[in-house]
């Protein structure tokens, strides 16, 4: 910024903020040179990113309690207290905050160094889930490892692992990214291994998100357009083949296309129809907090996969719109931080952060689409909001990594070292 340039409205606002003494601590694009001793502080970070994330976590805490308070009335949960899920959600948030604070202290260079090992650990845990008497099976799906305080879902770690590994891979293969065999084939093999392990659980939703993260990072890393299109086509064909060869998955597609058909309304489309009824009851301003009827044993998994439907019924169109806008802003902000890292020649950090943005935004989009009947039913939670200890823990770690990249970006743009 030149000496005679006048700061914009945001710069003037930040300079005039009460108690603000350091005029150099302006938004990320400020390039004023200051002495190196000012650059080691973690005080300069993206406050709006933190506040929006905290707002979503707080809303999730309230809505999980609202959606789960009546579950003990059901024979399936008769031994649980009304606050059972609230207590466990609070525990997950506490563990997530501690893990996020620890992750915030780790420099990006360390994440880059150990990225392949993080991916290997996630593969080992995905394999461990399939071992009898080691993995925990619930409703026919073997997706969890019992750890006492909580059941850990390795597929959540795999989402972080693939973002780290794909970003590291693209940096290492940057000079051969035009050659298919050298640039894309090894990554395709890694993705295929993850896919086979996840489909054995089965967890097609998690595989879809992981495939989105991997392909997104390959595309943003500059892989040849024809190679990228070929990869998308192969994955689309694989998903189509899985649907054709799996009768119950095909039934889900038919139920999605015609949810009010009597053949599906009480079967594969049961969740979708009751989700749509919840949104319809919410209208503009909702029935009021705690006023949902669908959560009273009509809508299965109301506190996890279909939490947005409860938000729609209790907070109405206004509440759902606020959640959508918050996720749009959060995803966009994560991508901005990633682009700034790439502009500072920190390619790994930039690709990794944008991969995490694809994770947050893509999974939120799929969950919202399922709840609203835009997409076929998939077992994916709403990031930061839905009940689920593993998801909350890894979501918060991912956001801490994004915040760390932003902090290092700001230090570099002030003339210091990351």
Residue 60: pLDDT band with limits 50, 70, 90: very high
pTM: 0.85
DSSP single-letter state for residue 175? G
Query: If 0-12 CB within 10 Å is exposed, 13-18 middle and 19+ buried, where does residue 168 land?
Result: buried
Rounded distance, CA 254 to CA 130, Å? 30
Q: What is the pLDDT of residue 2?
A: 43
pLDDT at 401 > cutoff 90: yes
Q: What is the pLDDT of residue 43?
A: 58
Answer yes or no: is pLDDT of 40 > 60: no
DSSP 95-146: HHHHHHHHHHTS-HHHHHHHHHHHHHHHHHHHHHHTSTTTSEEETTEEEEEE
pLDDT of 61-70, one tens digit each? Answer: 999 999 999 8
Q: For residue 198, give both structure tokens.
A: 């996840």
Q: What is the pLDDT of residue 27?
A: 39
Find the helix or strand (DSSP H, E) in which 399 lies: helix 389-413
Q: Rounded to whole angstroms, how far apart are CA atoms 158 and 123?
A: 7
| pLDDT above 80 (res 79) | yes
Task: Give the contacts of 68 (CB within 8 A, at least 6 positions apart).
Answer: 84, 85, 86, 302, 303, 387
What is the average per-residue pLDDT within 38-55?
Answer: 78
pLDDT at residue number 98: 97
Q: What is the pLDDT of residues 249-278, one digit of tens each?
A: 778 888 888 888 888 888 888 889 999 999
Give the model's confidence band at 182: pLDDT under 50 very low, under 70 low, under 90 confident, else very high. low
359 token code pair = 């994770």
Q: Which of 24-28, 43-47, 200-204, 407-411 has the lowest mean pLDDT?
A: 24-28
Q: What is the mean pLDDT of residues 101-121?
A: 94
pLDDT of 33 over the 50 cut: no
Contact present, 62 and 385 (Cβ < 8 Å): no
Q: Contact 387/5 with Cβ under 8 angstroms?
A: no
The pLDDT, as a whole number, for residue 19 is 42
- 78 by Cβ neighbours in 10 Å (0-12 / 13-18 / 19+) ranks as exposed
Percent residues over pLDDT 90 in the chain: 54
Instruction: List strands edge to edge, sheet with 141-146.
Output: 136-138, 141-146, 151-152
DSSP state of 5: P
- Judged against a pLDDT cut of 70, whether residue 181 lies above it is answered with no
Task: Return the domain boundaries, the chain.
Answer: 51-413
* pLDDT tens by residue, 287-334: 999 999 999 989 888 999 999 999 999 999 999 999 999 999 999 999
Mean pLDDT of the chain: 84
Structure-token pair, residue 343 = 């502009």
Q: Which residues, at least 6 apart from 187, have a Cβ–Cβ distance to it below 8 Å?
A: 166, 169, 214, 218
Instruction: Give the model's pLDDT for residue 10.
Output: 42
């Amino acid at each position: 910024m030149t000496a005679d340039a006048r700061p914009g409205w945001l710069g003037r606002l930040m300079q005039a903020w009460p108690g603000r003494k350091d005029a150099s601590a302006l938004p990320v694009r400020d390039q004023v040179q200051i002495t190196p001793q000012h650059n080691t502080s973690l005080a300069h970070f993206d406050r709006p990113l933190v506040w929006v994330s905290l707002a979503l976590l707080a809303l999730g805490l309230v809505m999980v309690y609202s959606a789960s308070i009546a579950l003990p009335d059901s024979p399936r949960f008769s031994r649980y207290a009304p606050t059972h899920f609230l207590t466990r959600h609070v525990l997950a948030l506490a563990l997530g905050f501690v893990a996020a604070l620890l992750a915030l202290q780790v420099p990006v260079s360390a994440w880059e160094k150990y990225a392949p090992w993080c991916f290997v650990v996630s593969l080992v845990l995905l394999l461990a889930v399939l071992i009898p008497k080691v993995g925990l099976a619930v409703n026919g799906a073997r997706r969890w490892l019992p750890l006492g305080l909580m059941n850990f879902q390795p597929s959540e770690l795999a989402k972080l692992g693939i973002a780290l590994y794909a970003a590291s891979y693209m940096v290492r293969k940057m000079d051969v990214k035009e050659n298919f065999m050298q640039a894309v084939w090894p990554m395709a093999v890694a993705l295929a291994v993850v896919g086979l392990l996840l489909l054995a659980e089965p967890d097609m939703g998690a595989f879809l998100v992981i495939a989105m993260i991997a392909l997104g990072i390959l595309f943003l890393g500059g892989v040849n357009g024809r190679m990228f299109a070929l990869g998308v086509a192969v994955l689309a064909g694989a998903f189509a083949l899985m649907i054709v060869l799996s009768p119950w998955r095909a039934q889900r597609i038919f139920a999605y296309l015609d949810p009010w058909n009597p053949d599906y309304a009480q079967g594969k489309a049961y969740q979708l129809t009751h989700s749509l009824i919840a949104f319809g009851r919410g209208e503009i301003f909702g029935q009021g907090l705690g006023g949902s009827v669908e959560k009273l044993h009509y809508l299965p998994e109301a506190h996890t996969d279909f939490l947005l439907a409860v938000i729609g019924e209790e907070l109405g169109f206004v509440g759902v719109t606020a959640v959508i806008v918050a996720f749009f802003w959060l995803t966009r902000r994560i991508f901005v931080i990633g682009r700034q890292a790439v502009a500072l020649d920190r390619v790994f950090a930039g690709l990794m952060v944008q991969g995490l943005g694809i994770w947050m935004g893509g999974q939120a989009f799929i969950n919202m689409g399922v709840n609203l009947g835009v997409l076929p039913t998939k077992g994916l939670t709403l990031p930061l909001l839905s009940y689920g200890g593993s998801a909350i823990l890894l979501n918060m770690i991912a956001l801490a990594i994004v915040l760390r990249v932003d902090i290092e970006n700001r230090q570099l743009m002030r003339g210091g070292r990351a």
